[in-house]
Homo-oligomer: A and B are copies of this chain.
Amino acid sequence: MNHPVATPDRLLDAARQLFSEKGFDAASVREITRAARANLGAITYHFGTKEQLRLAVVDRVARGFAQRIVEALAPPNPAPERLAAMVEALFGFFADYPDAPRLMLHLLAEGGPSPGPLVAQQRRVLEAVATVVRQGVADGELRPVDPFFVAFSIVSQSVWFAIMRSRLAALAGLPDRPELAAAVQRHVAETVTRAFAPVGAAS
């Protein structure tokens, strides 16, 4: 086989899928290694423990999530356009990783503090948003607002849609299709643009 996927990558993919489907505790080492076509000792060999495999899965997903957001927020566009690009990046991420929302739900339902690798990526996102918001306020493109709240409004609405999309489609009586995601994405971007527009600006 040319370009085979290395065992650690196969383990990470299999673990992400099984943790997303069943939760961390319910997904067994036996299932993960079987799905990854690896031997039963492969998790110990490559990651040490199942918990360390879990942290590696969270790290990889959170890193991909943060990377897209940081890229979307990069200069040189005006701040409101960069925030709209962040919304687009979030919807794009969840379209490409449909098992990510449920992985997140299991992680949250388990309780306890966020894993370190996730917090590190959240900080990266927060810093990128803060840079854009501070510059946007200084340039008169945004009203004076705490960057934490801007990040909160964008992430909460985008993640909630990713979590709820099939249920929201059913509730709205619409098919769960990319067109619905596109309409909600436009709504979130518009909401954010209007909510953080400079005071006195015509909306």
Q: What residues of chain A have their CB less than 8 Å away from a CB belonging to chain B?
A: 21, 23, 102, 105-106, 108-109, 111, 113-114, 119, 122-123, 126, 143, 146, 148-149, 152-153, 155-157, 159-161, 163-164, 166-168, 170-172, 184, 187-188, 190-192, 194-197, 199-203
Residue of B with least CB distance to A192: B195
Cα–Cα distance between A50 and B92 once the two chains are bound (Å): 39
Cα–Cα distance between A196 and B191 once the two chains are bound (Å): 8
B-chain residues with CB within 8 Å of residue A197 when the two chains form the complex: 194, 203
Minimal beta-carbon separation of A62 from chain B (angstroms): 13
Minimal beta-carbon separation of A99 from chain B (angstroms): 11
Cα–Cα distance between A163 and B153 once the two chains are bound (Å): 14
Whether A156 pairs with B160 at a CB distance below 8 angstroms is yes
The residue in A148, A172, A188 that gathers the most chain B C-beta atoms within 10 A of its C-beta is A148
Cα–Cα distance between A187 and B49 once the two chains are bound (Å): 42
B-chain residues with CB within 8 Å of residue A171 when the two chains form the complex: 114, 119, 122-123, 126
B-chain residues with CB within 8 Å of residue A164 when the two chains form the complex: 108
Cα–Cα distance between A197 and B200 once the two chains are bound (Å): 12
Minimal beta-carbon separation of A137 from chain B (angstroms): 15
Whether A113 pairs with B170 at a CB distance below 8 angstroms is yes
19 inter-chain pairs at a CB distance below 8 angstroms, sorted by A residue, are: A102-B108, A102-B111, A105-B105, A105-B109, A108-B163, A113-B167, A113-B170, A114-B167, A119-B170, A119-B171, A146-B187, A149-B187, A152-B168, A153-B191, A156-B160, A192-B195, A194-B197, A197-B203, A200-B202
- 4 interchain residue pairs of minimum CB distance: A156-B160, A105-B109, A191-B195, A195-B195
Among B102, B105, B195, contact of A194 (Cβ-Cβ < 8 Å): B195
B-chain residues with CB within 8 Å of residue A166 when the two chains form the complex: 113
Whether B109 pairs with A184 at a CB distance below 8 angstroms is no
Among B152, B191, B192, B195, contact of A184 (Cβ-Cβ < 8 Å): B152
